[in-house]
Amino acid sequence: MRLRFWGVRGSIASPISNAALEAKLKALLKRAIQKNVQSEADLAKFWSSLPLHDRGTYGGNTSCITVHDGDDFLVLDAGTGLRLFGKELSTGKEEIDKPIHILLSHFHWDHIGGFPFFGPAFQEGTRIVIHSPTNDAEKYFKVQQSSPFSPAEFAFLHAAIDFEISKGLDHKKIAGFHVSSLGMSHPGGSMAYRIEGNNGGIVYMTDTELADIGIQNIHEYSTFFNGATLAVVDTMYGLLETYTSKLRWGHSSVFPFIDIVRDTTIKTLVLFHHDPDLDDKDIEEMRERAQHYYEHNTPEGTMEIIAAYDGLELDVPALNSDA
């Protein structure tokens, strides 16, 4: 199983500013001069020594991830990153032969705003199935894609689009994967998904606030994580100082997630749904402090902590490495 991240921001698309890009480029050139980069070989060595926040950016598209296993795939959320996945899926193809299954966590704009720009939805012969917690999904999609909000109305789409309820799933087979769901604490509610392949699987738990969930829910969450090997979690208010000023806004800091997953089967924890106010250095700092917190509290632990960025691809660790 493999994941690809097409959008990792929360709330609103937030591309890097020109001023931030210019500052990055100047700092890079200065370091290259100091390192006496003279040849292409010097450049390749210099480049590979740089962390992501110096040589690139975490990105600005909103929530969208694809899960692949061989020819099988499904999509998690339809934020602005979905447009790019649509382009890749459609390139060179007159017809998309497999149904496209999209699992929605909920209907806030940052999770559905990419759909009106999803190329395959305009293609004859495509079949799209949208799984969501409510039977009002079709109504919401029609409103989003109606005049005066959108130039291409929902009725204009050529694909066959079906809607299915994803609430209360327990090992339902969708696109070759076993999918389970769990309701989250978020304004208006949201849905977490566990998606399992043959050996390992992922939990996608975005847009959730862990404060006040109580011991019963912590047990329920641990059970939900168990069996999966990679977790993508909402750490929008990553550090405690941010979180305490935004209590009850429906998002989490990174630390309670570490506490919940450290005794489960999770081997890779992916920080996701980044606050649009965080710049690349802030996100790296959050990841470093999360790593430090984990190592300090779990000296024998081997879990990897990664901050998601647009374009990141990850192999899902095997549950049983002997298999």
CB nearer to Zn ion: give 176 or 276.
276
CB nearer to Zn ion: give 110 or 209.
110
Residue linked to tokens 């999803």: 118
Neighbours of 72 (CB within 10 A): 15
Cβ-closest residue to Zn ion?
108
Spatial separation of the C-alpha atoms in residues 37 and 16, rounded to whole Å: 27
Question: Which amino acid is residue 116, in one-letter code?
Answer: P
CB nearer to Zn ion: give 196 or 207.
207
CB nearer to Zn ion: give 111 or 267.
111
Spatial separation of the C-alpha atoms in residues 9 and 112, rounded to whole Å: 13
- The minimum distance between CB 274 and Zn ion, in angstroms, equals 11
- Per CB under 5 A, the list member of 5, 9, 10, 307 interacting with Zn ion is 10
Q: Which stretch binds Zn ion (CB under 5 A): 4-12, 51-59, 115-123, 287-295?
A: 4-12
- The answer to whether the beta carbons of residues 307 and 271 sit under 8 Å apart is yes
Q: Which stretch binds Zn ion (CB under 5 A): 8-16, 29-37, 134-142, 297-305?
A: 8-16
If binding is defined by CB under 5 A, does position 275 make contact with Zn ion?
Answer: no
CB nearer to Zn ion: give 191 or 303.
191
**Angle, in degrees to the nearest 10, between helices 214-225 and 254-261:** 70
- The minimum distance between CB 58 and Zn ion, in angstroms, equals 16
Spatial separation of the C-alpha atoms in residues 112 and 274, rounded to whole Å: 17
If binding is defined by CB under 5 A, does position 108 make contact with Zn ion?
Answer: yes
- The answer to whether the beta carbons of residues 207 and 105 sit under 8 Å apart is yes
- The minimum distance between CB 15 and Zn ion, in angstroms, equals 17
Spatial separation of the C-alpha atoms in residues 47 and 118, rounded to whole Å: 34
- The minimum distance between CB 312 and Zn ion, in angstroms, equals 18
Q: Which stretch binds Zn ion (CB under 5 A): 22-30, 107-115, 147-155, 169-177?
A: 107-115
- DSSP assignment, residue 162? E
Spatial separation of the C-alpha atoms in residues 96 and 123, rounded to whole Å: 8
- The minimum distance between CB 187 and Zn ion, in angstroms, equals 7
CB nearer to Zn ion: give 119 or 256.
256
Spatial separation of the C-alpha atoms in residues 286 and 258, rounded to whole Å: 13
If binding is defined by CB under 5 A, does position 131 make contact with Zn ion?
Answer: no
- The minimum distance between CB 87 and Zn ion, in angstroms, equals 23
CB nearer to Zn ion: give 79 or 200.
79
Quick one: tokens of 2? 């493999």
Q: Considering only residues 199-228, where is the footprint of Zn ion by CB under 5 A?
A: 207
23 Cβ partners below 8 Å, 6+ apart?
none
CB nearer to Zn ion: give 110 or 310.
110
Strands (DSSP E) found in 224-276: 230-234, 268-272
Binding-site ranges for Zn ion (CB under 5 A): 10, 108, 110, 207
